[in-house]
Amino acid sequence: MFRLRQIDSLEAPELAPYRTMRRSAEHAQQGIFVAEGDKVVRRLLADHRFGVVSVLLPPGRVEDFTPLLNARPENFEVFLAERQLLEQLIGFVLYQGVLAIGKIPPPPSLDSLLASSPRPLLLAAIDGLNNSENIGALVRNCAAFAVHGLIVGETCASPWLRRSVRSSMGNIFQIPIIETASLTHTLRGLRNTGTHVVAAHPHVNGRTLTQGNFTGDCCIVMGSEGTGIRPEVLEVCDDAVAIRMPPTVDSLNVTSATSVFLYEANRQRGRM
C-alpha cells in the first residue's frame, strides 16, 4: 500500500536519497538506486522482483501511476512536489520530473546464472567502462539481443548509477548482472564450464568478427574505447576478433560495437 505525502523541502531523513543523487557511492553502500523518468519508473513499479523504497512525483501525475502503485506488495510513500521545486532542491534539470528509489537486488552467483540460463548461453562482459551512460546503453543492447547475463568487471562503473539506469530505459531490470571483484577469475571459471570467451579487440591476430564462433555457449568481452581490454583479461580469452572497418575509422563507440557483436552472435544462431 502506498501513502501520498505533499512536500516542500527535501530535508526529511527519508528524502535523503533524492538529496544525494550525485553521491552514488552512498547509494551503493545502502543497496539502493535511483530510477528517473516515466518509462524507467513504470518498469520498476511493474517488476515485483525489485523492491521499491519510495516514489517522487508531480501532483498531476499521481493518477497516471495509481494502477502500478496499487499493485505493489510493499508499504511505501509517494512524495508529491512540483517539478520546478524539485529542480531547485536537487540542483539539476530533471528528466520528466518522475523519480523512484529502488533496491539493488542480490547478484546471482555465476553457478546459478549458468544453471538457470537456456542453451546456447550468450553472456556479455565489460572491462574498463567508466561512462555510466555508455553502460546503460550497453545494458539496453543486451536486453535487445537476448543476452542471458552481464558480467561487470572491477574496473567499471556500477550499472546501478542513476544515469546508467536511465540510459538503459529500465531494461536493466531484465538482465541478471554480476559485478565481479576479478574479471579474469570469472572468465577463467566460465572457460572451465566450456563457455567460449571471445574478446572484442582489434590488432591482435587479424581475425574479424565473422570469423568468430558464437554458435555455442559464449561470452563476449567488451573493453573501453580508450585502452581496450586489459592485457591480463585478453590473455584469458579463447579468441579475439574485430569489426572490419576502413582504415580511416579507428573504432566504434562501445555501445555500437556491442550491438554489432550481439547481432552477429544472434545471426549465427539463426535468430536474425
Q: Do 2-103 and 110-268 have matching folds? A: no
> pLDDT class for 83, splitting at 50, 70, 90?
confident
Supply the DSSP symbol for 120.
S
> pLDDT class for 20, splitting at 50, 70, 90?
confident
Residue 204 pLDDT > 70, yes or no?
A: no
Cis before residue 120, ω within 30 degrees of 0? yes
End-to-end CA distance of the chain: 43
Residue 229 pLDDT > 90, yes or no?
A: yes
Report, in this order, helix, strand and coil percent for the chain, each rounded to 5. 40, 20, 40
**AA letter at 12:** A
> pLDDT class for 91, splitting at 50, 70, 90?
low
List the domain boundaries for the chain: 2-103, 110-268
> pLDDT class for 89, splitting at 50, 70, 90?
low
Average pLDDT over residues 143-170: 96
Phi, psi of 225 (to 5 degrees): -70, -30
Q: State the Cα–Cα distance between residues 269 and 120, nearest whole angstrom.
A: 9
Q: State the Cα–Cα distance between residues 65 and 87, nearest whole angstrom.
A: 21
Mean pLDDT value across the chain:
92
Contact by Cβ (8 Å): 10, 89: yes
Residue 65 pLDDT > 60, yes or no?
A: yes
In Å, how far are 15, 185, 243 from 108, measured between CA atoms? 29, 16, 31
Average pLDDT over residues 101-109: 95
pTM: 0.93
3-class DSSP assignment, residue 221 = strand
**AA letter at 107:** P
Q: In what order do the strands lie in the sheet with 52-57?
A: 2-6, 76-80, 52-57, 99-103, 32-36
The pLDDT score that the predictor gives to residue 139 is 98
Residue pLDDT, tens place only, 125-150? 999 999 999 999 999 999 999 999 99
Domain 110-268 has CATH 3.40.1280.10: yes
Q: State the Cα–Cα distance between residues 165 and 177, nearest whole angstrom.
A: 13
Domain 2-103 has CATH 3.40.50.2300: no
As separate numbers, helices (DSSP H) first and strands (DSSP E) second, the chain gives: 11, 11
Residue 166: which region, alpha, beta or left (left: phi > 0; alpha: psi -120 to 50)?
Answer: alpha
